[in-house]
Structure 1
Amino acid sequence: MDTLAVILAGGQSRRMGRDKGTLPFDGVPLLEATARKYQGVFDAAAVSVDRPGRYPGLGLPELPDQRRGAGPLAGLEAAFTLTDARTVFLTAVDLPFADADLARRLVELRGNADVCIIRRGQGGREPTFAVYGRSCLPHITACLDAGERAFRAFFPLVEVRQVAEAELPGWDLDRVLLNVNRPEDYRRALDLLHQGAAGL
C-alpha cells in the first residue's frame, strides 16, 4: 500500500468532557464526518483507537494502540506496525474542517523527506495533520522506548519538509486547522458550520 489516511481517535477527550468522535457535526458523529472525507482519497483509510471496538459500525479498519496511553506518536507507530503502508497521512478527529485536498497537496510536497508538515506563521507546526514516511518508524519507536511521547522529540531525528503558509494559497488554515479540544471550541466550530451553510 502506498498512502494510508489514519484518523487519530484514541484520546480520552478530558478537556471536552465527552468523546470527541461522537460529537454531532453536520448531521453525523464527528468521526464519521471525518472518515467520509478520506475514504477514496488515498489507497485506504483507518482509525487509530486506544482499544478495539471503540467505534463499532464505522466501516473503517481499526488500528489499536500497541502502547496504551502513549499519545498520537504511538498511534503513528501502530499505523506503520500494523499495516504495510509506505506513507501515512495522519489527521486528528478533532479537526472538523480538515480538507482532503490539502492532505493530497502535502503528500505531493513531501518529495524525498521523511515528514511533510505545515509550519504556521507564528512558528507552530501541525503534527496531527501531516505526512509521514515509513522511514520514520525506527525513530518513532526509539523515542517511545525512551519515554519521549512528543513529536518535537522525534522531528530532529528525521528530514522534515516544512511547508510555509505562503505555499498553500487558497486554503484558510485558521479554519482548516481549527482544533476542537474544549466545549467552547466545539461551539465555535458549529457556528462556523452554520455560517457556511447560510452562505450557500
Structure 2
Amino acid sequence: MRDGVSGIVLAGGHSRRMGCEKANLPWGRTTLIRHVTGALRPIVDELLIVVKDARAFRHLNARVVEDLVPDAHALGGLYTGLRAAAHDLCFTCACDAPFLNPRLIRFLIALAEGWDAVIPQTREGLLQPLHAVYARSALPAIEEHLRQRRWDLRALAQTARVKIVGPELIARYDPAGLSCVNLNTPSEYETACAIDSSWNSSMTDAHHRTLRRLRVGCME
C-alpha cells in the first residue's frame, strides 16, 4: 500500500501576460486559487502552496511555503514543494488550472510507482509537467537542473525516470482535453469563465476554437 500523497500548487509566478495576480482572480463565487485547492483537497493527504511572499496567502487553509529559488521559475517552485512535502508522491499543478479532473489525477498517481515523475502529453505532443506527479526521487535531477540553470520542466524527461502518459490514455478520463489547461492571458481567462458544468452543450464555436488554442499552449 502506498504512502499518502501531497498536493503542490505553484502560485509564485509573475503573471506578466495576465497583468495581475492570477491566484486571486474571481472564479465563480470564489477565487482561482481557492477553486484549485478545493478541487485537490479530496484527492491529497496534504496541501502545500508555493509562493514568493507567504504573507499574501496566509488566509488559505493550507501549508504555505516560500519559494527557495524564486528566480528559477516553476522548477524552483517544484523543488521547494518536494523538499517541504510530507509524502513521497506529490501531484503538482499551477494555481491557474481551473479544470482539474479528480479521476485523471488519481490515475496518474496510480501509475507513479517506480518513476521519478508521471507526466501527461497532450494531443499536440506537448508534455505537461505542471499537471504531473513527482516523487522525491526526482530531487537529484531537479537539483542538477537548478545548478545548470535549465529552467524548462520538460527537460526533466531527459534526465529523470519519467513515465509519459499519452493522449489516448488521458482521453479516457478527460475526453475534452481541458485538465492541463492553464490561463495566461485575459482572453483565455474570459473564455474559461464562460464554461460551466454544462460547457459541452453550451459552448459556442468561438469557445471551442479558443480552448483548442489553450490546449496547444497549456503550459507557459
- Shift in CA distance, 36/161, structure 1 to aligned 2, threshold 3 Å: same
Residues 71-99 of structure 1 deviation map (CA, whole Å, 9 limit, x = unaligned): 11111111122233211110111111111
Q: Report deviation, 1:151.
A: 1.3
Residue 174 of structure 2: aligned partner = 171
**Percent of aligned pairs with the same residue?**
26
The letter of the residue matching 2:117 is V
Q: Report deviation, 1:173.
A: 4.5
**C-alpha separation in 1, matches of 2:200 and 2:156:** 40
2:23 to 12, 21, 24: 21
Segment drifting more, 47-56 vs 19-28: 47-56
Residues 133-190 of structure 1 deviation map (CA, whole Å, 9 limit, x = unaligned): 1110011011101211111332211111111121131413532222210000001101
- Structure 2 unmatched runs, 5+: 203-220
Residue 76 of structure 2: aligned partner = 74
Q: Report deviation, 1:66.
A: 0.5
- Shift in CA distance, 56/162, structure 1 to aligned 2, threshold 3 Å: same
SS state at 2:93 partner:
strand
Map 1:1-200 onto structure 2 (within 5 A): 2-168=4-170, 169-193=172-196, 196=199
TM-score relative to the length of structure 1: 0.92
SS state at 2:44 partner:
coil
**C-alpha separation in 1, matches of 2:151 and 2:10:** 15
The letter of the residue matching 2:96 is D
**C-alpha separation in 1, matches of 2:143 and 2:76:** 8
- Structure 1 unmatched runs, 5+: none
2:99–2:180 CA contact under 8 A, matched in 1:
yes
Segment drifting more, 78-87 vs 184-193: 78-87
- Shift in CA distance, 31/181, structure 1 to aligned 2, threshold 3 Å: same
**C-alpha separation in 1, matches of 2:166 and 2:115:** 15
TM-score relative to the length of structure 2: 0.84
**C-alpha separation in 2, matches of 1:80 and 1:123:** 26
Aligned residues: 199
CA-based RMSD: 1.9
SS state at 1:45 partner:
strand
- Shift in CA distance, 161/173, structure 1 to aligned 2, threshold 3 Å: farther
